[in-house]
Structure 1
């Protein structure tokens, strides 16, 4: 049987994107599916998020000035991202919009996901992530996200046409399953993020720590914090532990915090594994804190919205007392029922394994029919 191709945001300059791609690839391999991450370069993603000088569609001058401030950090991040991809991901040959159609003859099937691959906005509505280049019998998804509760009216027809061709659906949120059911009257599995498919032992295989092995607080934000930094500073004052802050947009520095340059994704895992405490507003910061059973606190509310993904994860795991708010600084040393957490994750992993085995069976049957 030919390999399976994973179509996802493996080139994105954030740790979660790279680590979820790695995790899904490993999980498929564990379940007997040989695969490559399709090395597709999305022009929109590259120009808006990856190249050092970036100019947004709106507020062009502001985004240009911001990109100048963060240019050094983005440059470091790009190099480390390439290093991680080359060392840890099994990649296809390079593809872009001009030659992606050739992939349909080189792979048995494709899995779109995880991440916000079906968002109508975040990649400029690039329909490659809806597998427009593939044959209908080659189309599957895992934990794909629309990142919206409702599709834009002007794009509904395209979504309906392309999603109708999929063989099986797995999405990340209930809202995504509702969109599919309302749009094409099909059911979708709701699956956990690939990072949670792997265990602590699995992640230990690639974990590396770039800081001294002494008690420290790991501070990690992907959105502009509200009370997160204040919480970390107060925790540092109480414990005497140093704060290591991983955040690219250093528009101003705060006394009492040691800032880290962008790290390799393996070092991101190591920073969480070896931390005494984690303070974050990131989904993957939360997810890896759970995987490593760490003492952590999460700021779910951010300027512009709320981290629904992290909130849903914590609710599903029964961890409801770790949110930093304007009025509440949680007890980061509070007890967690880790046995319950492990049981929930085991159940979700088994559910994902059953779904992946359905894909494998369909592909093998299709391959047998073609051979005959």
Structure 2
């Protein structure tokens, strides 16, 4: 059985990252390959996390403990569902090409220049042969590569055997950088059917069947948005669950519980790509808000997703509140199915072509 390695971000703190990693492994494994995900060395991860408890940084001790409990949930999820193989960041060059049929980088913001200083060699697969380099749904997380990184990114992209990205802006970046029109494919989470996610989803015990609106904002919430959230809660006779609130038990939920909470929510309000993805998978009413703060530049992936599904009317700026709880998913289902066929075709052909010369 041919062995394939996935290389992706792995801070064990981001729901979308762990869920896309699981999904990509699941899809490739179902095609008859032996799959492993190369991730950061866990003892180092745990040691660094424990350091945050004793560090005097203004965060309350109880909140730091919640971060540790959340980390444990993420590690438990990986232990149960993802075939991870820990590697120290500086030791990727010791990985033998001969052991793997190919290496796949993706999905997520693996090519974000904000952290390329630390991840460039790994995320552009510079440690393996160009004939074994594949990207699947890679994201830059920005609309334009900073000038200081252009030459490095050109060198990194040109050597891939097969290139695919996750959003329209990323297609433009590749085209502008190396003159190639690459494939745009679905995020791995959208390659799995809802029934597959049902197998791993989990509900926190404190829900007890109550109605709730789920909120998940990575960039923070303005006062105006706060008012809207609680107006919607009153309108729908629902409680509000804020996944980013240290003061609730929901801050520590794991990736499987994240899926479960979205699947049963009355409505989802978010600025998160993957919270939107799972709202679409479970056909929930949702509202997408522009990201606040430093994450503003990450909006292109959400724009591509909403455009593809014909759901731009679920943006907060375009929402007709008379349709708050009514979403027509007919066109979204058709669009996702069409893109899924193309995405799987790309992935299969890319894997099968590995070992041949680049070009």
Answer yes or no: is 1:117 the counterpart of 2:110: yes
Q: Distance in 2 between matches of 1:332 and 1:298?
A: 14
Please list the CA deviations of residues 156-201 of structure 1 after superposition, one character each: whole Å capped at 9, or x if unmatched: 2222222221101001122222222222222310112111111111
Higher relative contact order (CA 8 A, sep 6+): 2
Q: Please list, as runs of the form range in 1=range in 2, the aligned pairs for 1:293-332 lying within 5 A after superposition.
A: 293-304=283-294, 305=296, 307-325=299-317, 330-331=321-322
Count of matched residue positions in the alignment of Structure 1 and Structure 2: 349
Q: Please state if 1:241 is matched with 2:238.
A: yes
For 1:168, the equivalent position in structure 2 comes to 162
Label 1:69 to 1:124 Cα distance change in 2 as closer, same or farther (>3 A).
farther
Where do 1:36-115 residues align within 5 Å?
A: 36-41=36-41, 51=49, 53=51, 64-66=57-59, 70-92=63-85, 94-103=86-95, 104-115=97-108
Gapped runs of 5+ residues in structure 2? none
Alignment CA distance shift 1:159-1:308 (3 Å): closer
2:275 is matched with 285
Residue pair 1:196, 1:291 contacting (<8 A) in 2 also: yes
Q: How far apart, in 1, do the equivalents of 2:42 and 2:201 lie?
A: 29
3-state SS of paired residue (2:138): coil
Structure 1 pair 353–46 and aligned structure 2 pair: CA distance change class (3 A): same
What is the distance in 2 between the residues matched to 1:66 and 1:188? Answer: 44
Q: Which residue of 1 aligns with 2:348?
A: 357
Number of the residue aligned with 1:261: 251
Higher helix share: 2
- Counterpart position of 1:270: 260
Among candidates 219, 222, 225, match of residue 228 of structure 1: 225
Q: Is the 8 A contact 1:52 1:74 kept in 2?
A: no
Change (3 A) 1:242 1:362: same
Match for 1:134 among 103, 115, 128? 128
Compute the RMSD of aligned alpha carbons: 2.9
- Give per-residue Cα distances to partners, 1:336-364, cap 9 Å, x unaligned: 33221111000111011110111232137
Distance 2:104 2:60 in 1: 33
In 1, the alpha carbon distance for the partners of 2:37 and 2:127 equals 16
